[in-house]
Structures are given as structure tokens and as C-alpha cells.
Amino acid sequence: MTLKRTLGIVLVFVLLLSLAACANNNTSDQTQTSTESATTAYAAGSATSATNTSSGKKAIVVYFSGSGNTKRVAELVANETDASLFEIVPKNPYTEDDLNWRDENSRVQKEHNDTSLQNIELNSTSVPDWESYDTVLFGYPLWWREAAWPVNNFVKGNDFSGKAVIPFCTSTSDGIGDSGSKLAQMAGTGTWQDGMRFPENDDESSIRDWAKSLNLK
């Protein structure tokens, strides 16, 4: 009788213990699930804010650069605005000789003189996650007072609908002029704003100040 009773008590105890363990498991499963979904939600949100933060804007700097000046500006602007970067790269890149506009036999001179040669094939015109960006900072060097034509196929090949587009250029002496509005016409979509021109080797601080003034961060 005493043994039976003891066994009974032990059994009940074991039963109670396993019930408690089960209940605990369920709770932690639920906790795990809700933590997971919270993490997923956060991750999705932070993918946006990983590029841009409190402004709620998601920006990308798209640029072409022949000899590196625009690339430098593009990188500084992207850094200052927490934007992504996309470089427009011609399949057949321009060498230093190609870019020598003083030589009338250079590639740029030939392309300048015969616009049919300005249809420059690019490595890629498709930006990963393009739809997710609401702001495009669009950089190029001035060539004969126009946006360098290697950007044309990118502009024609992408839909800028719903995006604010902010052009910027680098040049030796000329201002941005109507180079940005000509690109806007070429694109046919997007809200293209007045752009900004930077001298070839502008101070880092002027570039950063301009980028800051856009309030994209």
C-alpha cells in the first residue's frame, strides 16, 4: 500500500512535470515564431533603411565616368546620402587615348562627329531592385557641353516613373546647362530636377555639403 501510494505520487509528479515542460515548449515556440516574424519585418524595413535612414527615402547614385572625376563625386555623394551606387560601364571602355578630345582622330572626336557612333553598348542597364528607389542621383561628365553619351542607353533603357531624378555633372569649365533637361526628355519619365555641376577636382567638403543639402539621409 505504501509502495503503491509512493509510486502513485511519483507518477503524478512525473506527469505534472511533463505537462509543465510541454506548456513551456509551446510558449517558447510561440515566442520564437513571433521573434522570427518581428525579425523578418525588421529586416525588410532595414533593407530600405540600410541605404537611407530617417528621411524614409531610398536613393541610388547612377553614374558614368571616363577618367574618374565623376566617379569620385558619385562615391562621395553616395557616402554622404547613404545611397547605393551603380556605375554605367561601356562594354568597350574608354582609354585615355579614346578620351583625348584634342586629337581629331580619337574615339570621342569620331563619336562626336558622327552621332550614329554614339549608341554605346553597356555592360548592363539593369539595376538590382530598381523599383525600390524613389530618388536617383544621376552623374556624368560634360562632353561638348552635353551629358557624355555613354549614359544615353541607360536613360533610354530604364523607367524613371515615380522617381525624383537629380542630375549632377563634372566639367572643366562649363555649367550643367540644359544637359539634365535633355536627359529628362530622352527618358520621358521621372521628375527630373535642376542639377548641380562640380569642377573637375572640387573640394570634398563642397561635394559633401551639396549631398547633405538634399536631405536624403
Ligand X SMILES: Cc1cc2nc3c(=O)[nH]c(=O)nc-3n(C[C@H](O)[C@H](O)[C@H](O)COP(=O)(O)O)c2cc1C
Q: Which residues bind ligand X (CB under 6 A)?
A: 65-71, 99, 101, 108, 141-145, 170-174, 200
Q: Under the phi-then-psi rule, with left for phi > 0, alpha for psi from -120 to 50, and beta for the rest, what region is 191?
A: beta
CB of 112 to ligand X, least distance (A): 7
Q: Which is nearer to ligand X, 52 or 176 (CB)?
A: 176
Residue whose entry in the numeric block shows the C-alpha cell 513551456: 24
Using the minimum distance from each CB to ligand X, give the nearer residue, 51 or 170: 170
Q: To the nearest whole angstrom, how small is the minimum distance from the Cβ of residue 109 to ligand X?
A: 8
Q: Kindly list the distances between the CA atom of residue 12 and the CA atoms of 7, 15, 50, in Å, as whole numbers in the listed order.
A: 9, 5, 54
By beta-carbon proximity to ligand X, the closer residue of 105 and 173 is 173
Task: Considering the complex, state which of residue 48 and residue 90 has its C-beta at the smaller distance from ligand X.
Answer: 90
CB of 35 to ligand X, least distance (A): 47
Question: What share of residues in the chain are helix, strand, coil (percent, to 5)?
Answer: 50, 15, 35
State the minimum distance, in angstroms, from the CB of residue 43 to ligand X: 36
CA–CA gap between residue 86 and residue 61 (Å, rounded)? 6
Nearer to ligand X (CB atom), residue 70 or residue 84: 70
Q: Nearest Cα to 87, choosing from 60, 108, 117, 47?
A: 60
Output the smallest distance, CB 106 to ligand X, in A: 8
Let me know the angle formed at the C-alpha of 168 by 100 and 193, rounded to the nearest 5 degrees: 140
